[in-house]
Amino acid sequence: MKTIIILITIVIATTIISCEKLYNTIWVYYDETKCANSWGTNENTLENERIKAVEEYFEDKGVKIFAVEITKDGTLEFCRACHCRTGNRIKCKIKESDLSKMEKEGFYQ
């Protein structure tokens, strides 16, 4: 019985690891704006809601987002217009083949 459980665990772990390696992935970055983000969030939107909005927006565009992080290492602009940058940077892990789609949305590598 223990052998079967160990074997099943190894098979599941191998499957999970091999699925992650099907794609060459890269990280892309977007300097968040106060309210001109394509996915409809603004600087007052909660972080978990912003992450969900980014994932859903790009899912609708056919881009698989493997991970999203929001960091505070972007450029902060001291203005109140929608296009002004908040200082937050949205980082997304994507398939390398989706880079051009992300670049059209203002992301860079």
% of the chain residues with pLDDT over 70: 83
Return the domain boundaries, the chain: 23-104
pTM of the model: 0.77
Residue 99: what pLDDT? 98
For the sheet with 25-33, list strands across it: 25-33, 85-95, 65-71
From CA 43, how far away is CA 81, in angstroms rounded? 11
From CA 50, how far away is CA 52, in angstroms rounded? 5
Q: Which residues of the chain have pLDDT under 50?
A: none
Q: What is the pLDDT of residues 13-33, one digit of tens each?
A: 665 555 556 889 999 999 999
